[in-house]
Amino acid sequence: MALIFHFHPLSSFCHKALIALNELEVEADRRFLDLGDEAQRADFLARWPTGKMPLLIDDGRVVPETSIIIEYLARHHARPGQTLIPLDADAALEVRLMDRLLDLYVMLPMQAIVGDRLREEEDRDPFTVERSRDTLAMAYGMLEGKLADRAWMAGAAFSMADCAAAPSLFYATTIVPFTAEHPRLAAYFARLMQRPSVARTLDEARPYFQFYPYREGLPAQFRPA
């Protein structure tokens, strides 16, 4: 049975795993998941009760959570020599550290801000939004320092950390742009956007960016006409 990958084309966490699929050149049946559809939602929750995307199914085996999905793909489906996790133990720890930092301090606060804009005006939470903006600014400074001596997020090679960085920074910069204090981070982000695995993921998502609530902040080539 082919790999089945359940995803939504606007989801940053789905983009993270899609970049890994593209980078590793792993074929999968990519299935658009519409949780607004009652039947799809019921089937998905039966497989993974948290309801969180993406989800990988491998011959009936359920593989959830983006970092686990990426490690699973690299271990079981990548060609020999292809990996997004270094074999060296210390290098692998750095990749996992940067992956977690990006998920926790860029991806999640970005999602909190986007989610707040989707609420009705009376239900919005300015305190959480401001705190999330502060977290993004802190994270940018931290990443700027980390990039002082490396080409990619966790070292000399593209890794799982870069799979996390691409979508988290892509969306986060529509809310809190880089400043003059982040030249290395801005240069790194430009390299990310040119990576074929990242470019393919964003290009396939392009038709859906019209539904993104901060679409006015997207890079010019991705803004809806």
Averaged pLDDT, 31-50: 92
Averaged pLDDT, 202-222: 94
Report how far apart, in Å, the C-alpha atoms of 79 and of each of 21, 75, 125, 135 are: 12, 9, 47, 38
Alpha helices in 66-159 (DSSP H): 66-76, 89-102, 108-117, 126-146
pLDDT of residue 82: 86
Model pTM score: 0.95
pLDDT of residue 2: 84
Where do the domains of the chain lie, and which CATH numbers do they carry?
4-76 (3.40.30.10), 89-210 (1.20.1050.10)
| Whether residue 121 has pLDDT greater than 80 | yes
Q: What confidence tens digit (pLDDT) does each residue in 98-108 have?
A: 999 999 999 99
Q: What confidence tens digit (pLDDT) does each residue in 126-180 have?
A: 999 999 999 999 999 999 999 999 999 999 999 999 999 999 999 999 999 999 9
CB-CB contact of 196 with 164 (8 Å): no
pLDDT of residue 223: 87
Return the closest-CA partner of residue 9 out of 160, 174, 210, 225.
Answer: 210
Binned at pLDDT 50, 70 and 90, residue 76 comes out as very high
Q: What confidence tens digit (pLDDT) does each residue in 172-192 have?
A: 999 999 999 999 999 999 999
| Whether residue 1 has pLDDT greater than 80 | no
pLDDT of residue 97: 98
CB-CB contact of 99 with 67 (8 Å): yes
Average pLDDT, the chain: 95
pLDDT of residue 214: 96
